[in-house]
Structure 1
Amino acid sequence: MNEKIILGLPKGSLNNVKRGNTHQLFVDAGYEVKGYEPGDESYEIEILNDEDIVAFLTRPQSTPVELNRGMVDIGIVGEDWIKEESVLRESNTIKIGDLDYGKTRLIVAVPKDSPYDNLSDFFRANKDRKTPILCFTEYPNLTRKFIMENEVYQEIYGDAVPFVQVRGLTDGDNEMVQVINSDGATEVYIAKGADLIVDNTQTGSSLRKAGLKEIETILQSSAGLYASGDCTEEKLDKAKMIYEQLLGAITAKKYFDVKFNISNSKIEEVSKYLIENKLCADEPTINSGSDFSQINVLIPKSRFPEMIDAIKKFDATSIIRNDLKQLVY
């Protein structure tokens, strides 16, 4: 490449072994990565076996900002943050593709003993209150947009724009409904006196532990690879190549590589059975021997127990199951 491509790698939950280990994803995709081990990330990261990539650590909240301004060429970030950045200004980011991890939902939550089942119920019940409604969130733009689209809010407040505060910056003219930026640990604000929160969650367990319940879902999100609209064609081609490598590692996690021996007299029969019952990715690979042959198949992990049961009925022996690191179609 004539120019190096600048890659933003996510800090936080997207590089966490419990939610989305982006470091391991790059390793599985064949990249030698230094300085990005979960819990021990450096702001300067090296991709040792690809000199065309310059990598930096980026916070999920700031990655869309950096992409829009061409500070990074490509970045891995949740779609929730891309949409948060694009509420008030047109975004020039290009989605290269989804990466199928870091899945979350952006939800509205209230105390679990509240009588409200949705946001409309909440506004209806609080229409005559004399003190401001307080909502804390890390997503003030999406939250305000969602509130203003609510029919009951419109009935009560018309086109008035909820008051928003992000640290010392304020905006909006409806101080009876206030959206306050939380900067994390959002669920604790209910205990401190907030009326509702907007937060992301995977399973809802942390919300339930905090004594909260969900009443609305704003959006669903997962991590993806995004490119700046300022990328050259050469950089976009490189971004697509990186995506294919990563996608291959993600796809591989859904399959087992299975080998087994079978009598030559049963090869045709067992192969036909595997194909007709979709117990292989394409068709079996056969390594022929004098009396027995080895059959090799890629099998979706969810179908593996069924396949084992089936091939045993054909007297299969020496069954070996291996994990895959990468699968590129």
Structure 2
Amino acid sequence: MSQLLKLGIPKGSLENATVELFRQAGWTIRLSSRNYFPAIDDEEMACSLIRSQEMSKYVERGTIDVGIAGRDWVMENDSDVEIISDLVYSKVSRRPARWVLVVTQDSPVQKPEDLAGKTISTELVGFTRRYFAERNVPVEVEFSWGATEAKVVEGLCDAIVEVTETGSTIKANGLRIVETLMESTPVVLVNRQAWQDPWKRRKIEQLNTLLQAALRAEKMVGLKMNAPHERVEAITGILPSLNRPTVAHLYQSDWVSIETVLHEGEVRRIVPELVKLGAQGIIEYPLSKII
């Protein structure tokens, strides 16, 4: 029997973005509302849908060889796994999620130490307990099943530890951020024994390389054009590129073909300039991977 890599796909907020990222990287994952084992077009891999909050537990015990989950939940579970890379999904957010210590606007608390002897409500119980224990600040940490912000507003606790990106919702609820305790992005995490297996390591490295290549290609496009040879210096002088633009002579002609890679937001600015400099036949095309 051939070897099999067991892959964990995060169920929930990252689910669709992860499947789309795999599509860009070269794998088709087919989800079904009726089961937790998506099909993947790779006979050397098998998928399971697992909540990000639990992913690191299954990876640590080896039920899953490699998975994707938020770094925050790896830290919450204090899991002994190998984190090999970060994945920042532009289709979810370009900002890391922040877990912040929050109080009401009129609270006397100005720093974490001011909460000694107080009660904190959060979903991130393990991490919060360790955070305050490392600073020798005695607090009572309670698990919150939801509506965490309302608990501090209603006086059911003295502070909360909540996740945010911009902090705007926290401000809108009349609350104040005391301190950021952790920043989190999705990560690729690997079982340590799987990482030591030569076949699985090669497969995981292939997977990670192509996922990172797909991420690098997001919002990037290729631009190709023809131009007179005497205009090459002027045109390449304004072209952004990963290294330097590619210039190739056209067959039996004193014209050249110029090709580069740039952010799609730059195209609308730069194309009119290229036309003024004599570029013709300008083509923009999408990119799926940059390696």
Shorter-chain TM-score: which interval?
A: 0.7 to 0.9
Question: Please, what TM-score do these two structures have when normalized by structure 2?
Answer: 0.86
Q: Give the corresponding residue for 1:178.
A: 140
1:63 CA drift (Å): 0.6
Task: State which of 133, 136, 144 in structure 2 corresponds to 1:148.
Answer: 133
Percent identity over the alignment?
30
Q: Give the corresponding residue for 1:189.
A: 151
1:66-215 matches, cutoff 5 A: 66-86=58-78, 91-101=79-89, 103-123=96-116, 133-150=118-135, 153=137, 177-192=139-154, 193-215=156-178
**Separation (CA, whole Å) in 1 of partners of 2:133 and 2:249:** 67
* Aligned residues of 1:106 and 1:200 also touching (Cα < 8 A): yes
**Separation (CA, whole Å) in 1 of partners of 2:145 and 2:289:** 37
1:28-43 matches, cutoff 5 A: 28-35=24-31, 42-43=35-36
**Separation (CA, whole Å) in 2 of partners of 1:326 and 1:96:** 19
1:269 CA drift (Å): 4.3
**Separation (CA, whole Å) in 2 of partners of 1:247 and 1:142:** 28
Structure 1: gaps spanning 5 or more residues: 128-132, 154-161, 163-176
Q: Give the corresponding residue for 2:190.
A: 227
* Aligned residues of 1:259 and 1:319 also touching (Cα < 8 A): yes
What SS is found at the alignment partner of 2:211? helix
1:63 aligns with 2:63: no
The structure where helix makes up a greater share of residues is 2
Q: Give the corresponding residue for 1:172.
A: none
1:259 aligns with 2:224: yes
1:74 CA drift (Å): 0.4
What SS is found at the alignment partner of 2:278? coil
**Separation (CA, whole Å) in 2 of partners of 1:249 and 1:41:** 29
* Aligned residues of 1:270 and 1:314 also touching (Cα < 8 A): yes
What SS is found at the alignment partner of 1:190? helix
Corresponding residue pairs, total: 281
**Separation (CA, whole Å) in 1 of partners of 2:101 and 2:151:** 13
Q: Give the corresponding residue for 1:165.
A: none
* Aligned residues of 1:186 and 1:197 also touching (Cα < 8 A): yes
1:22 aligns with 2:23: no
Structure 2: gaps spanning 5 or more residues: none
1:327 CA drift (Å): 1.2
What SS is found at the alignment partner of 1:325? coil
Q: Give the corresponding residue for 2:6.
A: 6
Amino acid in the other structure paired with 2:97:
T
Amino acid in the other structure paired with 1:94:
E
Q: Structure 1 residues 135, 5: CA separation in 2 closer, same or farther (over 3 Å shift)? A: same
Q: Give the corresponding residue for 1:311.
A: 274
Task: State which of 232, 240, 245 in structure 2 corresponds to 1:279.
Answer: 240
**Separation (CA, whole Å) in 1 of partners of 2:241 and 2:23:** 26
Question: Please, what TM-score do these two structures have when normalized by structure 1?
Answer: 0.77
- C-alpha root-mean-square deviation of aligned residues, in Å? 2.4
* Aligned residues of 1:96 and 1:240 also touching (Cα < 8 A): no
Amino acid in the other structure paired with 1:316:
A
